[in-house]
Structure 1
C-alpha cells in the first residue's frame, strides 16, 4: 500500500490543484482543473490525465471557476480522504449551477465503489473514470456533453500508460515521479487497492528508461520510481533476451547519469532482496532511503492483516538493510486498533518501533474500508477512543526517534540537491539529503540554481528539518 499522508517533500500534497502547462494566451479554448488526493500514484495518474486532455485541446487552469472540466482524482485508502472529496464535489456542484456547461468528473480509486451513488442518487458528478480507463476520457467527455452520464471503471490486466508522456504537474523542474507498474497482488486484508487498481503488471523497462532520459535532458535531477510494490517489478525484454527485475531496473535508471538521483516507493518487506540492497550500495546516485511498511508489530495481527511475514522476519530484514547499507534512512507505516488488537498487540508494535527507530513514520488508526477482506471477515471491534489513544502513544515515541535521528546529523556534512526556495524565505534554499531529510540553508553570495548539488554542513536541527550552510559546490 502506497499511502502517503505525512509531511515530506512530495508526499503531502493532498487536495492541491495544479497548473501543468505554460500556456500562451488563447492557446486553448477549453480548460480543465484537477485536484488529486491520497498517494503518489494518484498524483502520477493526474499527470497522465493532463497529457490526454492536452492532446484533446484542453489547457489547464488554477482557477476552478474558469474550468470547463473539473476532475477530482480520488483515494479510498482513508475515510477522511473520501469525506474531503464529497465536500469538494458539493462545492463544485454549486459552482456548476452558475456555469451550466461545466462538467464534473471523478477519477481514481473511489470511482468503482461509489459510481452509482454519486451519479444517480446524489447527482454530484457527470463522469466517472477508473484508474485503468483514462484513455477513454475523450469519448466519455463527448457523452457527458450530450447530457448522458459517462462511466468507465473497467480494470485492465495490461494497461500501464507506458506510451503516454506525462505532463509534469506543479513541477519544480527538479524532481519527478515515474510510474513503473500498476496494481497489486498482495491481498492485505485492510487494503482496497487490489480491488480499485487491479492486479499487478509491470511497465516495459524501455519506456521507463526513455522517460527518465527525457526528464534528465530537460533538467530534472531526481526521479522517484513508483509502484504499489516496486520490488516485485518484473519484465521480460524479448528483443534483447533479458529479464529485468527491480534491481536491474534500478541499475539501468542509475546509469542514465551520475547526476541523476534515484528514489523508489514503496517496498513490501517480503519482496525487497539482497540484490536490490547491493545495487543501492553499488551506485552513489541511488538514494539510501527505504520505505518499508510494517503495519503492526504483533504476529497475530500481521496474520489477520495477511502481511505474509512475522515480526521476527521483519526485524531481520531491517538488520540486513543496516548491514548492507549503513546509515540508510528508514521509514514505515503503522496502523493502530486493527480488528481484535489487544493491549499486548499494541505493546508489541510499540516495542518494534522502539527497536527500529524509524527516521520517518506514517501512523494511522484503523478505519474499515468497504470492499476489503477485513470488512468481510472481521468485526471492527476496537473502540475509536482506544485506537486514537494507541495512535498518540506511537506518535509520541516516533517524535523522540525523529528528533534523535536529526540530532545525529548535526556537525556532519551532506550532499544536498537544491529543489526550491525555502517556504519561509527567498533568501534560503530548500533541499534534501540522500537519506530524504529536508535541509534549509542560506543562499549567501553563491550563484546557484534549482537542480544544483552542494555540500552543506549541518549546524543545528529541529525535529523535522536540518539547518546548515554551504561549504562546497558540487556540480
Structure 2
C-alpha cells in the first residue's frame, strides 16, 4: 500500500558503487511514498551517502551536517516540521558512534552500506525520537530484500546503468579502508545478477557497468552451486536482448584470469576499455602498500590483455606521496604510466585513513612534496589523454547515441572508450548504436559524423558496419 507522498534528497559522494547504492535506497523507499527531489529544502528526508576514500572525508561530512542543521532549524522556525537527516555509506560505517557524538541533535539515522535495505524500518524507529545507528554486517543478503526500480524510474535514469555484482575486499592494501567499511569479498548469485540485468535491459538500458571493489574477483554461485567467474558472467549478460555494452570496474591485476581474458577476446559486447589500478610503479612502494604484485607482474597482465584485445585502452589509479616514497620511486610511477600508455587515470595524494597500516608508518611525505608530485603526474597524464583522443581521429567508432545535443540538430553519445561524442543527427537515433567517423578531439570530448544510419541491430552487425567503413 502506497503511503502519503514524501520527498527524498540524497547527496552522493565518491565512487560508482555509491551512485548505485543511492539509487537502490530510493528504490527501497519508493513503495513507502518517497519521491526523489533535486531541491534539498523541500525534502522530508535528506541522506548523505558518504565515501571514506578521499582526504578529510569525515570532516566534510561534519561540515555538511552543520549546514543541514541550520537549514532544518530555519524550516522549523518558519512553522514547518523540518526534515530528517541520515548519514549512509562508508564514513557512517567507520565512524558511526563519532558522528552521533559530534553531531548530536543533527542526525536521525546513521547506517552503513550493508543496511540500506532496512531503511524503511530504520526511518520508522527514528520517528520515535532516538538517533538510530545501524553499522553491523547483517547475515541476510540485502539484495534479496530490495525491490526493483519501476520501468519508468529506470528509463528516467538513462541508457546506462550500474549493477553491483561483488562487494568488499580481501586484499588489505595498507592505504585502504574498504575491508573495514565494506567487509570481506562477497559475490551475488549468478541468477540474481542476471535477473536484475534483464529488468534493466527491458527498461531500455543499453550500456551496463558491473561494479565491485574487486569486481574481477567475482565468484557467484549458479543454481546448481557451481562457482561462476566474471568471464562467464559477462558471456551470460551478453545474451540478454537489448544489452549492447558491458563494462566492469574496479579490477585488480591478481584477479585477471584466463577465463576473463578469453571473454575479452570472444564477447563483442565487452568493451575495449579497462580500469585496472596499479597505484605505484615502484616495487618498494608496492610492497609497502601490500599490493601483492610487482611492477613486472602488472606489466605481464597488461601484455596478456593486449594479446587478446590489441585495441584495449587502459585506465588506472595512482597514489603519490605514500609513506617512504622517494624521488626515485616517484620517477618509477611516471615511467610505468608512460609504458602502459594509459588513456585516462585517477590520481591522488596519499592521505592517512584512521585504522589502516599506512596511517602509522614512519617517513610520511611532506604535503608540499605530495602536491608537487601530483602536479607532475597530472601534467603527464593530461598529455597522454590528449594523445589518446587524437589517436581516434579518422577512425570510425560504434557510438551509443544517448541524448539530445546542446545545439539544435545535434545528438550526444559515448564511444566504446567512454569518450563523450558530439555529432549531428535526429533524436530518433537515441538508444541506437551508430558508426561515427571521428573528425576532431578536444580536451574532454570528441566530435564526428554518422557514416550511415544503422537501424537497431545486434552488436556484431554494427561492428561489421564499422569495419567496412574503416576498410
SS of 1:240 mapped into structure 2: coil
Match of 1:195 in 2: 180
Residue 141 of structure 1 deviates from its aligned partner by 1.3
Q: TM-score, normalised by structure 2?
A: 0.90
Which of 38, 42, 48 is the matching residue for 1:66? 42
Alignment CA distance shift 1:310-1:104 (3 Å): same
Counterpart check, 1:45 vs 2:21: yes
Counterpart check, 1:173 vs 2:158: yes
Match of 2:336 in 1: 352
Alignment CA distance shift 1:163-1:286 (3 Å): farther
Whole-angstrom CA distance in 2 between matches of 1:200 and 1:157: 14
Which of 31, 34, 49 is the matching residue for 2:7? 31
SS of 2:72 mapped into structure 1: helix
Once the two structures are superposed, residues 262-311 of structure 1 have per-residue CA deviations (whole angstroms, 9 ceiling, x without a partner) of 11111101111222121122111111111010000000100111101000
Match of 1:438 in 2: 420
* Between structures 1 and 2, the one with greater helix share: 2
Unaligned regions of 5+ residues in structure 2, if any?
Answer: 457-471
Alignment CA distance shift 1:160-1:231 (3 Å): farther
Confirm or deny: 8 A CA contact 2:122 2:132 kept in the other structure. Answer: yes
Whole-angstrom CA distance in 2 between matches of 1:249 and 1:153: 31
SS of 1:109 mapped into structure 2: helix
SS of 1:264 mapped into structure 2: strand
Whole-angstrom CA distance in 1 between matches of 2:294 and 2:218: 23
Alignment CA distance shift 1:220-1:228 (3 Å): same
Which of 218, 232, 240 is the matching residue for 1:256? 240
Which has the larger displacement, 296-305 or 172-181? 172-181
Which has the larger displacement, 176-185 or 253-262? 253-262
SS of 2:11 mapped into structure 1: strand
Match of 1:56 in 2: 32
Counterpart check, 1:458 vs 2:443: no
SS of 1:375 mapped into structure 2: helix
Match of 1:104 in 2: 85
Residue 430 of structure 1 deviates from its aligned partner by 1.8
Residue 317 of structure 1 deviates from its aligned partner by 1.0
Which protein, 1 or 2, shows the higher relative CO under an 8 Å CA cutoff with sep ≥ 6?
1
SS of 2:402 mapped into structure 1: strand
Residue 392 of structure 1 deviates from its aligned partner by 0.8
Confirm or deny: 8 A CA contact 1:157 1:198 kept in the other structure. Answer: no
Q: TM-score, normalised by structure 1?
A: 0.89
Residue 359 of structure 1 deviates from its aligned partner by 0.4
Alignment CA distance shift 1:350-1:27 (3 Å): same
Confirm or deny: 8 A CA contact 1:37 1:81 kept in the other structure. Answer: no
Match of 1:20 in 2: none
Residue 102 of structure 1 deviates from its aligned partner by 1.9
Whole-angstrom CA distance in 2 between matches of 1:259 and 1:345: 43
Confirm or deny: 8 A CA contact 1:432 1:439 kept in the other structure. Answer: yes
CA RMSD of aligned residues (A): 1.9
Alignment of 1:290-305 (within 5 A): 290-305=274-289
Confirm or deny: 8 A CA contact 1:185 1:200 kept in the other structure. Answer: yes
Which has the larger displacement, 424-433 or 457-466? 424-433
